[in-house]
Structure 1
């Protein structure tokens, strides 16, 4: 890491002059004088201790070092411009930032977002998905809905739904003999060892098969007919209703708890309250499989 960086203005002047092949045109584009552009580039060359341009009268062309620096500078300025434009989302007056897992967003929230928009068109919802649990105290997040989260400082914590798990597969897999069904393995509660301990029922699961770290991808694999998986009752509800999943047995076991974290700065925000209320209403009675 460099201890001292050249001024951003000198890099902008260099990029414009190199791209346009003219100090004069660069000055016009940046609304500066030609002498200012010349001074910026001289300062940059002094910092780098090597020339960036060949100068011949009013004509300039890049040295090999200048060509190298141009590609780096253009990539850096482009990335900086994208990052600055992205900050505009934080200035939206009705912005509500929701953090959740990719699995919850894809399998539960996305099919219901149309209903939320119809009820609350004023909410400019930004869905921020991460595999890692966010730090609500240091990140710009209003709400978090996750199955891997616990209480955090500066936040209210509420368990919304106690999930259940059950073994399921696509109807086409169900029609196969048990020994021909591929077993799909997941992590945490979706691991078959959890089913063996909690239910003790042999549904033909095997130690070998396909393995997934993402519970959403595990569910996608089961829906696609790749094999038999231990899936979330909550996340698989839509697939069950669409006839894409069929339970192997009518028995379920305890799954993770889905909880809501609300940052204290957002607790009394009408936008956050609108989403929290809608979420609570839609999670009531979610899942219809019988419990053990």
Structure 2
């Protein structure tokens, strides 16, 4: 890597002059004098040790090196502009950052977001879904609702819902002979060994099949008729309502606990309290 970078101002001056084909027009666009633009270009050429423009009176044109640098500079400045503009999202006065799992965000939260939005249109909710448990002390997160989280420093911890699991599949798969059904395997509680120990019921599950690390993807696979799966009662509510999923037996077993972490700096924020109350009310009806 270069030990020293040319000043950003020289790159801006170069890009404007190259794009407009004129030092004078570049100076007008950047609200500088023409001599200032000329000095910036000379400084950049001295740094690169090669000319970037052919000069003929008042007209200028790019050298081959200038053309090469122009494409690089334009991409760099555009990416920088996008990055700087994106920082504005961290200054939104009504922003509330929620961390959760992709499965919960897609299968439980998304179908209900319209209701929350109608009740609290002023809240600028940012759903930050990750497979990794966040570090609430070092990340800018107000709330975290997950089934794989425990208490953390500087946060309050509360279990909001005790999930249940059950074997299910697409209704069309019930007519397929048991030995021809693919078994969909998940991780942690969604592993069939958990079902075998807790319920002792054989629904035709096999050791081989398709394997998923994401419980949301596991649920999607079951809904499309790929096979039988041990699924979350909480996450599968919408799929059952729409007829994409049907229980294979009435028995359920204990699943993970969904817990809420609230950063201490957010506990007294009205937006955080409103969202927490909405969560509690909706999870209580499950």
TM range (shorter): over 0.9
Q: 1:229 to 1:17 in 2, by over 3 A?
A: same
Q: Please name the residue that 1:48 is paired with.
A: 48
Q: 1:240 to 1:7 in 2, by over 3 A?
A: same
What are the residue-to-residue correspondences of 1:1-292 with 2, within 5 Å? Answer: 1-286=1-286
Q: String of CA shifts for 1:8-58, please: whole Å, max 9, x gaps.
A: 211111111122222222111111111111212222222223322222322
- Alignment coverage as a number of residue pairs: 286
Q: CA RMSD in A?
A: 1.6
3-state secondary structure, aligned to 1:265: coil
1:278 deviates by 0.6
3-state secondary structure, aligned to 1:189: helix
Distance in 2, matches of 1:85 and 1:264, equals 29
Distance in 2, matches of 1:191 and 1:157, equals 27
Structure 2 stretches lacking a partner, 5+ long = none
Further displaced range: 130-139 or 106-115:
130-139
1:106 deviates by 0.9
3-state secondary structure, aligned to 2:265: helix
Distance in 2, matches of 1:42 and 1:196, equals 76
Distance in 1, matches of 2:70 and 2:150, equals 48
TM-score by length of 2: 0.94
Q: Please name the residue that 1:290 is paired with.
A: none
1:111 deviates by 0.9
1:285 deviates by 4.1
Q: Please name the residue that 1:289 is paired with.
A: none
Q: String of CA shifts for 1:216-252, please: whole Å, max 9, x gaps.
A: 1111111111111111110001111222111112122
Structure 1 stretches lacking a partner, 5+ long = 287-292
Distance in 1, matches of 2:117 and 2:272, equals 14
Further displaced range: 227-236 or 61-70:
61-70
1:123 deviates by 1.4
